[in-house]
Amino acid sequence: MMRVLHVSDWHLGRVTYNEPRSVDHDTVLTEIIAVARSEKPELIVHSGDLFDHARPSYPDMSKATTVLKELAAVAPVVVVCGNHDSPLLFQLFAQLLGPDSGIHFIDKPRDPDQGGILRFHGADDTVLRLAVLPFVHSNRAIDAFDDPHHWRAAYAERIGRMERMLAAELLRDFDDRRDIAMFAAHLHVGGANFAGSERPVHASDYYATNAEDLPAVNYAAFGHIHQPQKLPGTQVPGRYAGSPIQLDFGEAGERKSVVLADLRPGQKANIDIVGLSGGRQLRRLEGTLDDLRVLAPSVGRDLCQVTVHTQTHHPALSELVDDLLPDAVVLQVNEVCADQKLEVLTQDAVAADVEPNLRQLFRDYLADQGTTTVAADRVMATFARVLTAVEEQQPAVMPEESLLTDPLESDRAPVAAEVSR
């Protein structure tokens, strides 16, 4: 048997609504190291997006290499390049660490017999064969796999062809009494459930690949989708390990985890999900100030989006929310004012068969969208006044103009006195 620890999508350097997530990463990475030391896997696979940016900061690179070295002290580590990672940076890491390092950076797709298949030996003469496939950008030719005649093929067809070539070498002379087959990739398999925090251009139907093209392996370790889940629509046992922290509010409420897979020749993988704390949680809070006052004791140090319902605009609302949630990190405060939206007219008020006029259309708009700081009825009244002036081809007279033309009270007193005499 060989035990594999599968982690993914750390996104070191992530910033959520201007809040750096390094504190949360420190928490979960310490937990992952503890899991590795207690469970003693014989292989650790990171299935991509080690960093959040292709040009990570020096502290993030230092953190990544430090944690990977801690893991490599337990077992060999394979890191597959994700769509957020830099292949050139992975090449540099590999050169600096040297060929004898216990950390294997897979920077780009490789020919099946030129590094595309890795082999790891277990204590009981078991051999784990690992096929690796980093993220493939649609506009990049891969010399090891591509025939120029296929460069314009659909993305799914192209990835499927790579997977079939890897599978052919992976299973060549395969002995299911001794050998274990595994596949590690950073890909979007069609049907996976998105968290909403993935890079949209690389998490779309265009980049979806087919589940039926996956190699027949004991376990498939996938990265790219942040919500932990089984691989969709396939008989191949495998999982998206998911991100270890909630990266954005699309992941609010998710329980984060890593995967432990016990692999035996000729048998289906035994998969165990090990929960992580996830660091500080992302929370959406909504209600009146009184409602928030009741919720405050349960919020703690969470990162919060807050929506406050008020009767009228409150200019110091953010300060009040900060006072109510002193330990939380308030990322955003949204205000919903009762007086900034008009009531929707009923069908009794507006005949269904009558074409709405501009006043009705604008009223519907204010009922749906509201205003920002000015009461909606004042905006509606001003719009009606301007529209009437346009219809009558007369200049619009605003009540506010009297503030500029009327004399001040101090100027009026002498006049009044003169009249009285």
DSSP states of 17-67: TTEE-HHHHHHHHHHHHHHHHHH--SEEEE-S--BSSSS--HHHHHHHHHH
Contact 355, 329 (CB under 8 A): no
| Confidence (pLDDT) at 405 | 58
- What CA–CA distances, in Å, run from 25 to 22, 49, 119? 5, 14, 30
Residue 407 confidence (pLDDT): 62
Q: What does the pLDDT read at residue 390?
A: 78
Please say whether the beta carbons of 313 and 286 come within 8 A: no
Q: Looking at residue 416, what is its pLDDT?
A: 44
- Kindly state the tokens that stand for 240: 């998206």
How many Å is the maximal CA-CA distance in the chain? 120
Q: 201-209: long-range contacts at Cβ-Cβ below 8 A with a sequence spacing of 24 or more?
A: 202/83, 202/135, 206/138, 206/155, 207/138, 207/155, 208/155, 208/156, 209/155, 209/156, 209/159, 209/160, 209/163
CA distances, 348 to each of 323, 351, 366 (Å)? 45, 6, 19
- Per-residue confidence (pLDDT) for residue 158, from 0 to 100: 87
Q: What is the pLDDT of residue 194?
A: 78
pTM: 0.79
CATH fold of 2-275 reads Purple Acid Phosphatase; chain A, domain 2 (3.60.21)
d(CA 334, CA 238): 41
Determine the Cα–Cα distance for residues 254 and 243; give it in Å rounded to an integer.
Answer: 10
* Ranges of CATH 3.60.21.10 domains, the chain: 2-275
The residue assigned the tokens 């004012």 is 337
| Angle (nearest 5°) at CA 190 between 187 and 193 | 90
Assign 344 to helix, strand or coil: coil
pLDDT of residue 421: 42
At residue 331, the pLDDT reads 96
Each residue's pLDDT expressed in tens, for the chain with a length of 421 residues = 999 999 999 999 999 999 999 999 999 999 999 999 999 999 999 999 999 999 999 999 999 999 999 999 999 999 999 999 999 999 999 999 998 999 999 999 999 988 899 999 998 889 999 999 999 987 664 555 555 555 445 888 889 999 999 999 999 999 999 999 999 999 999 888 877 777 665 556 668 888 999 999 999 999 999 999 999 987 899 999 999 999 999 999 999 999 999 999 999 899 999 999 999 999 999 999 999 999 999 999 999 999 999 999 889 999 999 999 999 999 999 999 987 766 555 555 445 556 677 777 877 777 777 777 677 777 877 887 787 777 767 776 666 655 555 565 554 444 444 434 4
DSSP-derived secondary structure for 56-83? --HHHHHHHHHHHHHHHTTS-EEEE--T
